[in-house]
Every structure is written in structure tokens, then in C-alpha cells.
Structure 1
Amino acid sequence: MVTEHRFSGRIAGFGTASGTRLVVGIWAESPLGAFTDVMMEDAAGHRTLLAPNDEVAAFVSATYSFDEVRVVPVTTRRVDGGLAVTAGDLSVRMRVGGLSTLGRLLRVVPSLVATHPAWLRVIDPVASRLVPGVHTAGTAGGGRREFYGVTLIRDLDGVEATRAGESLGALTPLHPPVRFGFGSAPPAPSIVDVVTTIRE
């Protein structure tokens, strides 16, 4: 029997001049309720999950690969021009820009089609060629299958990120790709509206 989990929300991905790359999931609807989590890979390749509770930590760490999992207070709030996220000693303020070129193209595809696993399986080879490192379908941890259905892409025009009070440096492309799962967030700093479907 196949169990399907659907997560609807946003994913922000970007790099910093320190070499730390971050992927922030802001989930409005999910089997675990509304929550925000942060996946972080530093310049040395150390991968850390910052999760708001044990349930989220267990599910996410069973789906993706990390060297360290930490349960910490995680909050998200709207600020002038964008969003602010705090996760333990990490603080991120993102300035959200306009639709990217690819984001405008995605609006042509109806949402029900754009988020359906059958469609995402078919377009995966095209997506990986259009945006290096990105996949729309693949195998996750624990024998799970995962599908990313992006419906909108906005540029990130600026990011201020600190950890333990120290700046992570200026906003940069997300490069090299992060290694949490079968695919990475896009290299261009962005925030996407997405429906993630996980089957097990």
C-alpha cells in the first residue's frame, strides 16, 4: 500500500560568501502541520538540519541526509520587503524580488498539472537540463519517492544571514549544489512556491 504525504508552501535557496548554503522550507500545509525548517551545508560540506520539533526532525531526517540534526525554536515572520527566519542561533532576513524568467513561464502550466507526480516524472530530464542540479522526481531516503511541483519562482534580491552573531557574508549563487537529497535548489538565489509529494 502506498502512503502519500503532501507538503505545500515555499522553499528559499541561496548561497553566502562564507560558503554556507541554505535551503529554507516554509510549509503552510503538511501532515505535520504548518512549520519552517532549515537545511544548511557549510563550506566544509557539513550538513545540518534545524527542525522545530522532534516529529519534524524525525520525518525530514528519514527523507534527506544530514551529518547533524538539531531541534531548535524556529520562527518565520513577514518583514518589509520579504521574510525573516530564525532557527536557534541562525538568523536570516530575505528580500524577495519579482518573478524570474522561468517563474513567468511556469504560470502557463495549470497548478493541478504542475504538481502532479506523473507530470513531474516526465519533465524531470528537461528540468535538470534547464536548471543545473535541479530535479522534479527522484528517490528519497527510506525507499521513498519524492516529487517537487514548483508553481512560481521569485528572485531573492538580498539576504542578511548570521549564525551565533557572525555574518555569513553576502548573497551568492547556491554553488556547489547542496547534498541533502537527490536534487538541489536552483543555483540562482530564489524562493519558490511548491507542492512536495512524498510516497512510501
Structure 2
Amino acid sequence: MRPSRVRRRPLLRFEGWIAGMGTSSGTRIVLGHWCRSPFGPFSDVMLEKADGERLLLAPTRETADFVGATYTFDAVRVVPVEVSSAAGAWTVTAGPLDLCFTTGRRGLLGMLLCAVPGPLARRPAWSALTDRFAGLLLPGVRTRGSTIGGRREWYGARDLRPIPALSATFEGTDLGPVAAVEPPVRFGFSSVPREPALTRVTTLIALGPE
């Protein structure tokens, strides 16, 4: 008898940007701004407070359920999430969070990532290869790994720009100026770069065997 084959669900692809930043209050913020996704364009915010509480701010119940089933949070809120950007300045409104940040000129690593062709960045094999070097260049960063619920994930970066300044309030409290992402965020298997940065990325997620 021939062994049965395990069918795997197609990879889900998200194209967009991830902004990771810390604040002097100890709150760390990760913005996902997705221009293309299985849910259409949307943005979400992952926020880890100084006391370690992890919060997800997502625009719909569908996206909240998906992101909440992929990463680990202590609380999830469905709130309007609006993002705009122009000339290197980003503005984010997400329920109790108001955030503005600016991006600077890309460095050598950013220029190298810009040279990565899009089709290559979308291949899991490329993310597996870069995973060997990501942690050396950016401690705490992984480009492949497993999430909760047995999902697998790959990141293919195509640009990297520093975030030199921000202003943010959460529930009316000023979070202070930009700071390093320290300690690393604990939503999944990877943190964002320690130095605040905006990364253009293709994220692939495999939901696992059917």
C-alpha cells in the first residue's frame, strides 16, 4: 500500500512594511503595514508595555483572529487602524495609540537589501539561507521559524531604513522619545532590529497540514 501524502495548504503571502521601535518609557511598538495580503490591504499594531503585557490592535475581527492565532498576546482589541506616509514621515492612529515617526537614509545593509529581486525574496529557501546571517547582523532577528499553532513563517527583507525620531501617546500618556527595542519583543520567534527601523518585507505563512 502506498503511503498517503500529506497535503499542505498554500503559502499565505503578505507584502508590505514592518516598523519596529522602542520608546524611553519602555513601551515597544511593531507596526505591520500590509499593501497586499489575503485580507486585502490592512495595518495592525503589536505593542509590548514596559511591564511585559503584549497587546494587539487590529482593524477587523478577521485580521485580529488570524494575527492572534499566529503570535502571542495578552490582550487583543479590534479598533480602527489608519496609516499614512509622505516624504519619510509616517502617521498611525490605532484606537488608544497615536504615533508619528520619521525614517532616515538607508545604510549599507539597506542598500544591499534593495538589490534583492522580489521573486527571490518570496522564496522560503532564500529566507532559510538569510536566517544564518540575520542574527549576526541584527541580534534577535530571525527570518524563518515556527509560530504558535504549528504555523511556519518566512521573512524576505528588501529594504531597511532607520527610524531616528518618533512621538507617541497610548491612552493619553506620552511614551517618550525613540529608544532601542530593549528588551526584545516577545510576540513570536523573532524580534525586530534593536535599533528602530522600517523594513520592507515579504512574509510567507504556512498554516500546516490539512
User: Does the pair score TM above 0.5?
Assistant: yes
Is the partner of 1:10 in helix, strand or coil? strand
Q: How many residues align?
A: 200
1:14-163 equivalent positions in 2, closer than 5 A = 14-79=21-86, 81-163=88-170
Letter in 2 for 1:2: R
Aligned residue number for residue 170 of structure 1: 177
* Cα offset, 1:20, TM superposition: 0.2
Identity %: 48
What one-letter code is carried by the residue in structure 2 that aligns with 1:50? L
CA distance in 1, matches of 2:123, 2:135: 17
Give the secondary structure class of the aligned counterpart of 1:97: coil
Deviates more, 1:126-135 or 1:108-117: 108-117
Rg larger in 1 or in 2?
2
Give, in angstroms, the shift of residue 112 of structure 1.
1.8
TM-score norm. by structure 1 comes to: 0.96
Corresponding residue of 2:4 = none
Checking the alignment, whether the CA contact within 8 Å between 1:115 and 1:150 is kept in structure 2 is no
In 1: Cα distance, 2:64 partner to 2:120 partner: 30
Counterpart amino acid of residue 160 in structure 1: S
1:136-156 CA-to-partner distances (Å, cap 9, x unmatched) read: 000012111000111000111
Q: CA deviation at 1:92?
A: 0.5
* Cα distance between partner residues in 2 of 1:89 and 1:191: 22
C-alpha deviation, 1:114, in angstroms:
2.6
Q: How many Å separate the matches in 1 of 2:72 and 2:110?
A: 28
Greater mean alpha carbon deviation, residues 122-131 or residues 13-22? 122-131
**Greater shift after overlay, 71-80 or 147-156?**
71-80
Q: Which letter does structure 2 place at the counterpart of 1:117?
A: P
The alignment yields a C-alpha RMSD, in angstroms, of 1.1
1:5-38 deviation digits (Å, cap 9, x = unpaired): 0000000000000000000000000001110100
Amino acid in the other structure paired with 2:191: S
Superposed displacement of residue 88, structure 1: 0.4
- Pairwise CA distance, 1:109: 2.7
Residues 115 and 158, structure 2, Cα contact 8 Å, conserved in 1: no
Shift of 1:126: 1.4
Q: Give 1 or 2: higher strand fraction.
A: 1
Confirm or deny: 8 A CA contact 1:85 1:91 kept in the other structure: yes
Q: Determine if contact 1:6/1:195 at 8 Å carries over to the other structure.
A: yes
Contact preservation (8 Å) 1:81, 1:96 = yes
Per the TM alignment, residue 79 of structure 1 is displaced from its structure 2 partner at its CA by: 4.6
- Verify: 1:12 aligned to 2:19, yes or no: yes
TM-score, reference length from structure 2: 0.92
Q: Which runs of 5+ in 1 are unaligned?
A: none
Distance in 2 (CA, whole Å) between partners of 1:158 and 1:139 is: 32
**2:48 & 2:89 partners in 1: Cα distance?**
23
